[in-house]
Amino acid sequence: MSSTTMAAEQSELFPDVEIRCRDYRIGCIGAGMIMADVHLEAYRQAGFPVVAIASRTEAKARAVAEQYGIATVHATPEDLIDDGSVQVLDIAYPPDLQPALIRRALEAPHIRAILAQKPLALELGEAIALRDEAAAAGKILSVNQNMRYDQSIRVLRQLLDRGDLGAPVLATIEMRAIPHWQGFLEGYDRLTLANMSVHHLDALRFLFGEPTEIMTVAREDPRTAFDHEDGIVVSTLRFPHNVLAVSMEDVWSGPREEASTQTSTSNGGSRGRVASPRAPSAGRQGSPRRSPTRPP
């Protein structure tokens, strides 16, 4: 294949989501790492207007507001939801407290859309109810399944859709990490499944559709001090057209530094293979930009 042909094909790939509008004013609930280091930095780079912030700790919200030049700091999340200047609500809050905030926002006429963290709720029935209540209110309720919007996953989906790899056969996602578990997670009945596996399973669904079979096995992580059942998790899935996939969340034998991650994805098709390794990321669990490599 000539370099001109390869360049033309690569130019037809779209790793980034098109920004269609920068008009809606955003209010943010939460001032932890995900909001302070990821969401707000992304909004800054995209030029999205953030007009207010609130958190469980007002002093922390003020510090983050000063860092990003956010004009209004509310004493409570409820006060922020009631702020008539907020049109889009971004919630990065413990999942047991999130449903009540979502329902309050659904009743606020000035809020047009809500971005919630995963898991949406701790029980499936409540998550379904929130989905239905949002639909009845005529408002967008989106869950932050951010891995499907990662540039490498978006491009992989485009390669699959246009048949560059042939018929998909086997896909794997392997995460090796020593997470810095947030304190509020100690009281929940799921750990890695609800906080790590959920990203990888959703990415596989984005690539291949709804699975027809899934088997998940888990065991405790000896390093994690509090009680839990699902520290180390391995899931095997079958998708339509007999595509197989494996998702592994290894929080035991991964990198040695706490709060660091190494994640790799691989997709094998009948005509080619794409692999996307991720270098170690120490100190935070962000998603560095990366591009898949294509075999010659």
pTM of the model: 0.82
Residue 113 tokens, joined: 């859309």
Domain extents in the chain: 26-144, 147-277
Identify the DSSP state of 240.
G
CATH of 26-144, one of 3.30.43.10, 3.40.50.720, 1.10.3720.10, 3.40.50.620: 3.40.50.720
Q: Which CATH superfamily is domain 147-277 in?
A: Dihydrodipicolinate Reductase; domain 2 (3.30.360.10)
Residues paired with residue 275 on neighbouring β-strands, in sequence order: 266, 293
d(CA 106, CA 113): 9
Tell which residue, 26, 292, 33, 19, has the closest CA to residue 182.
Answer: 33
Per-residue model confidence as pLDDT tens for the chain (296 residues):
454 444 445 568 999 989 999 999 999 999 999 999 999 999 999 999 999 999 999 999 999 999 999 999 999 999 999 999 999 999 999 999 999 999 999 999 999 999 999 989 999 999 999 999 999 999 999 999 889 999 999 999 999 999 999 999 999 999 988 888 888 889 888 899 998 999 999 999 999 999 999 999 999 999 899 999 999 999 999 999 999 999 999 988 766 555 445 566 677 666 666 766 554 443 333 333 333 333 32
What does the alpha-carbon distance between residue 160 and residue 243 come to, in Å, rounded to a whole number?
12
CB 194 within 8 A of CB 231: no
Which runs of E-coded beta strand occur in the chain?
Answer: 26-29, 50-54, 72-73, 88-91, 113-116, 140-143, 168-178, 213-219, 232-239, 243-250, 260-269, 273-277
**Cβ-contact 108, 139 below 8 angstroms:** no
Q: Give Cβ neighbours of residue 288 (< 8 Å, ≥ 6 apart).
A: 278, 279, 281
> Are 26-144 and 147-277 equal in CATH topology?
no
Helix then strand count (H, E) for the chain reads 10, 12
